[in-house]
Chains A and B, each alone.
Chain A
Amino acid sequence: MSTLAANWRSVIRSGLIAGGVALYTALIGMLVAFDEREVVRNSFTLGQLLLVAPAVLVGWLSGRQSTQVPAGQRLLRGLVAGLVTSLPLLALMFVSSVVNLRTVLINVDRDLVRLISFDHGVGLSGALMLAGALGVSGILGAFVHLIPARLRHALLTALAWMLGAGILGELVRQLLSQFLDREALSWFLRRDTLKPEPAALLFVVVLLADLFWSWFRETRGRREGPAPRALQFTRVGGLAVLLLLLPLLVGSAISDVLTNIGLYILMGLGLNIAVGLAGLFDLGYVTNFAVGAYTMGVLTSTGVLGIENKMGVTVFNFWLVLPVSLLVAMFTGFILALPVLRMRGDYLAIATLGFGEIIRLLALSDWLKPIIGGAQGVLFIPAPNFFGVELIGPQRLYYIILGACLLAVFVSSRLNNSRTGRQWMAIREDEDVASAMGINTARSKLLAFTISAATGGVAGAIFAAKLGTIFPTSFNLLVSVNVLSLIIIGGLGSLPGIIVGALFLVGLPELLREFDEFRLLLYGTLMVTMMLARPEGLWPSAVYQREVRRGEERAPPQAGEQAA
């Protein structure tokens, strides 16, 4: 019976942890801030979703731990976990009714109390509402395990689509407004908020589609081996057409988000060569981005180095300077790599981190001010011109970035599958042995740094041309951290992972700009969660999956191994 007691103890403990999380989100003002955004109009808000999320999660966890236990007991555990989750908030509610907490905890205001009591205010009814809501959430979380697998998948998918569409209402409006007139649009949305009827419709449609799809797959049987050539061709063709038409489909505002994502994908692809392929932890990637941007800015604008013809127009255009930016970034990357070639792991990360700071301070410095403008930055960088067409605005710049990304994907995959890629992999695995096998590790690492830097330089150059002005503040540590985070979250060494990571880390924050103050908090939470739950990344490469999950799939050691 002691295991049973231990089980209940763990239910209560995880409930308390979840309650602590809920209390924390309340105290920092996150709940109230998120409450401003309705997910489905007049139904529920993002704040309410965030309030019940810990309870649902903890209910789900409590239900999972007890697979041999009867269904009723599992639901009971979910209920208890949910109720325990509400305790810290109940305490907050009670204390705030007795003492004025606002003098210290400025976020504990009437809005918060209204939110956590579901409009019932402080008192017995409010407390019951809160405890009841979280208790029910806990039961729901535990109940997920009791639904048959196929239906569960369909329900969760449908729920994810509905919530996604609700949270990204702005995106939905932008997309729909390309095809629908105001009248039709107003059936779906009011401002940027999804209305209940379309939300329900979306839920039902996705639910049925998912059920149909799983039924379809089952009756057809899963195909073994690679897809036939024709199908592959259609897929690639379809993807190509989609990529080409994307900016026209989504409109200007979302194209702007797409170009930002694209620039980060490009940088991710570049950094991936150093970090993912060669295992060189570079925390100063912003250096290359800045060098590329400043080269483009200084040479094409009418500054000291920009050469003008008689009409006062700069001689150098985007296309001429783009390869120059690439070469300058390559050269800087090469020079900066020289002193750190002998460093490994943490030391390398710290040294490169320093380079990132040096470049920011140089950009700000008075010493270089005559050339690159110091804190005022570089102004009047002309937009690229393509055979007489000014590539201004995100819908046109998109194509330059798309081209650069495709080129970077091509180069990385070619290199990865070549002798060079094998050298990098060997260095990542065991540098000493790689050297003993005849690999000139210094030269290999230099190459990785240099190519990685070149890609970052191109991204910077496009960035400069996109904005038309660049300031030193754009080139801070956060750029390096973002790029590194997105390739880690996507999956180190994986090209599709970079795209997924950029959509998550760059795309989502752009669409949820009103919650910017919580961005880094969510980043950190996401990182920690990822490292605990899925350390190989969202879309891992085969090699890293092997490295991270090696213990789980490995056969038990044989007799000879133990003897060794």
Chain B
Amino acid sequence: MSNVVLSARGMTKNFGGLVAVDNLDFEIIHGAIASIIGPNGAGKTTFFNCVTGFYPIDDGELIFEGHDINGWSSDHIARAGIARTYQNIRLFNHMTVIENIMVGQEAHLRSTWMGAILGTAGTKRENRESEEEARQLLQFVGLQGKGDLIADNLSYGDQRRLEIARALATRPHLLLLDEPTAGMNPRETAETTAFIRRLRDDLDITLMLIEHDMRVVMGISEHITVLDHGRKIAEGPPKEIQNNPDVIEAYLGRGAAGSTSA
């Protein structure tokens, strides 16, 4: 299929004796919103870390838009079009909101340090343009007027938005969101869910989520992959997953599958 954005085949990642991701086959097609769920320690974040080049994989292959990206460095992968957010927000805490976003634009900036010292017209223009673009992104994520605040001083919800804005600044084709609604109240969660949908609809970005909040997962995902102990135990549309006995067993334990019908 030509519209597959990312595919993993037989992907395996070990940490010493622990198999964190075990022989995983995975595919996500262009324009999809897909979720990865599973109990704690199932290997979800490890999967993200491998896709973004933070860890090399030990076996199998990882194809992004036709390139085998295994072994690429993180920055190379970011420039190729994969961006991410983190489970525990990792902003550049002491930089301003605008500066955070401008770091996200790194992949597209062309000016050099020599240009900066000499103050060339091109450097100045690029700086102006990138700041303008950053302000537009702020508008898009609803942080307008907060550009000159220090990231650390933003509220929790705003920090989550800023992290997404920073990821968007890399102009990703594929965006990985690691628990985007963690720690949010129901209203914030609903806003974030709507916002995630807008990312796909307005910006044409393919999205992959790790999420624990089942209402969010069932509400926005078109495709769900369930991991347990590094293995894929089920995949398919939300309806099927909800009723899959293996999934219920993995979450609730043996014996629960028979008695529950969600």
Q: Which residues of A are interface residues toward B (Cβ below 8 A)? A: 410-411, 414-415, 417-423, 425-426, 429-430, 432-441, 447, 451, 543, 546-547, 550, 554-555, 558-561, 563-564
Candidates B53, B152, B170; contact of A554 at CB < 8 Å = B152
- Docked complex Cα distance between A546 and B151 (Å): 11
Which residue of chain A has its CB nearest to the CB of B123?
A: A418
Say yes or no for B162: interface residue by CB 8 A criterion: no
User: B residues near A, CB below 8 A?
Assistant: 52-54, 73-75, 78-79, 83-84, 86, 88, 90, 92-95, 99, 102-104, 106-107, 109, 111, 113, 116-117, 119, 123, 126-127, 150, 152-153, 155-157, 166, 170, 182-185, 188
Q: A540 to nearest B CB, angstroms?
A: 12
Find chain A residues with CB under 8 A from B107 CB.
437-438
Partner of A564, one of B90, B92, B156: B156
| Residue from A423, A435, A447 having most chain B Cβ neighbours under 10 A | A435
A-B contact pairs, 24 of them (CB 8 A): A411-B117, A418-B123, A419-B126, A420-B113, A422-B99, A429-B92, A432-B74, A434-B92, A434-B103, A435-B73, A436-B78, A437-B75, A438-B79, A438-B107, A439-B75, A451-B113, A543-B94, A550-B94, A554-B152, A560-B183, A561-B156, A563-B183, A564-B156, A564-B183
Q: Is the CB of B95 within 8 A of A426?
A: yes
- Known A439-B106, A560-B183, A563-B183; judge A430-B92 contact (CB<8 A): yes
Complex Cα–Cα for A279 and B156 (A): 27
Residue pair B111, A429 in contact (C-beta under 8 Å): no
> In the complex, what residues of A have CB within 8 A of residue B106's CB?
419, 423, 437-439
B183 to chain A, nearest CB (A): 3
Give the residues in chain B near A546, CB-CB below 8 Å: 94, 150, 152
Query: CB within 8 A of B183: which of A415, A447, A561?
Result: A561
B90: min CB distance to chain A, Å: 5
Q: How far, in angstroms, from A433 to B73 measured CA to CA in the complex?
A: 12
- B116 & A415 in contact (Cβ 8 Å cutoff): yes
- Residues of the B chain whose Cβ atoms lie less than 8 Å from the Cβ of A558: 155-156
Q: A426-B103, A554-B152 are in contact. Are A560 and B157 (CB under 8 A)?
A: yes
Task: Count A-B contacts at CB 8 Å.
Answer: 117
Considering the chains assembled together, what is the distance between the CA atoms of A190 and B90 in angstroms?
63
Residues of B within 8 A of A437 (CB): 75, 78, 83, 103-104, 106-107, 166, 170
Of the candidates A415, A433, A554, the one whose C-beta lies within 8 Å of that of B117 is A415
When distances are taken between beta carbons in the complex, the residues of chain B under 8 Å from A550 are: 93-94, 152
Closest to B110 in A: A419
Expressed in whole angstroms, the minimum distance between the Cβ of B155 and any Cβ of chain A is 6
Contact of B170 among A420, A438, A547 (CB under 8 A): A438
| Complex interface: chain B residues within 8 A of A547 (CB) | 94
A410-B117, A433-B90, A438-B106 given; 17 more Cβ-contact pairs under 8 Å: A414-B119, A418-B123, A425-B99, A432-B54, A433-B86, A433-B92, A436-B52, A437-B104, A438-B75, A439-B106, A441-B75, A447-B113, A451-B113, A550-B93, A558-B156, A560-B188, A561-B183
